[in-house]
Amino acid sequence: MQPVELPLLELVPIPPDGDRDLCKEAADAELVIAVSPSAVALGRAWWPQTWPPACAVAGVGAGTARAWRAAGAQQVIEPQGDGDSEALLAHSALQQVAGQRILILRGEGGRDLLGPTLQSRGAEVSEWLCYRRQTPAGLAARLAELMRDPPAAWSVTSSEALAHLEAAWPAGAPRSAPLFAPHPRIAEAARRAGWMTVLSESGDAGLMAALRTWFDVSDHD
């Protein structure tokens, strides 16, 4: 079986706000949270000091934690279980944060849960919007071409990517193949859109394990 990539999100870097004193924010931060590997990568272009920052860092999910470590971070906080904001907020290191200065690297839009929750716990929170997400040019045409020989399964790793897939979906095309999702929120959105969904463990490894299990079962050949 041959895997096929269909990019559903395009990231566009957002230049930093020239009115902000990024040097001071960087120097004062006691914890830097990145919401994605892309936030780690794009934050590098803004950070006015040595990258990664010397303070503790945190990632929403194992992939972001790996990106921090690959960049050279020594103190990385990552959630257990589901790789989402709720799991990170449940980490013991983020329970007693009153008075701490926390900087969040994130994209424009998306869920706004980390900042307000940490502020409610007494932290001083600031955010850098590193990028915005948009639909890739030509997605509808690429999808129509792909549907000439439809995949035996789909995997989608974010609710926003699923929304872009649905917006570009050819009129009248069946959703007959299973869609694998690494998070209950994505799986539920897919079910509402008419997909037969398979909820996998979080992360790339979870998706791969679910796909292997599915196609190892003779009834799914």
Listing DSSP states for 71-122 in one string gives HT-SSEE--SSS-SHHHHHTSGGGTS-TT-EEEEEEESSS---HHHHHHHTT
- Do 125 and 67 belong together in one domain? yes
Among 99-103, 198-202, 207-211, 214-218, where is mean pLDDT lowest? 214-218
Q: What is the mean pLDDT of the chain?
A: 89
5 within some domain: no
pLDDT at site 24: 76
Mean pLDDT across 97-105: 95
User: What local confidence, expressed as pLDDT, does residue 219 receive?
Assistant: 55
Q: Which residue has the tokens 């010397």?
A: 54
Q: What is the pLDDT of residues 156-170, one digit of tens each?
A: 998 999 999 999 999
Say whether both 21 and 127 belong to one domain: yes
- Binning pLDDT at 50, 70 and 90, where does residue 206 land? confident
Identify the bridge partners of residue 59 per DSSP, sorted by sequence position.
Answer: 34
pLDDT on residue 220: 53
pTM over 0.75: yes
Q: What is the mean pLDDT of residues 9-36?
A: 84
Check whether residue 88 and residue 21 sit in a common domain: yes
∠ CA 125-82-11, nearest 5°, is 60
Q: 166 and 76: one domain?
A: no
Residue 182 lies in domain: 139-216
Q: Quick one: pLDDT at residue 98?
A: 97
Q: Does residue 168 share a domain with residue 201?
A: yes
Please state at what angle helix 159-168 crosses helix 139-146, rounded to 10 degrees.
Answer: 80
Among 87, 108, 134, which residue terminates a domain?
Answer: 134
Same-domain status, 124 and 169: no
Residues 32, 101: Cα–Cα separation, whole Å: 9
Q: What's residue 187's pLDDT?
A: 95
Better-predicted residue by pLDDT, 123 or 42: 123
pLDDT at 32: 94
Would the pLDDT of 89 be above 60?
yes
CA distance linking residue 207 with residue 58, whole number of Å? 23
Lowest mean pLDDT among 16-25, 96-105, 129-138: 16-25
Judge if 190 and 147 occupy the same domain.
Answer: yes
* Other CB atoms within 10 Å distance of the CB of residue 95: 10
User: In this structure, what token pair is assigned to residue 16?
Assistant: 């930093």
In a domain, 189, yes or no: yes
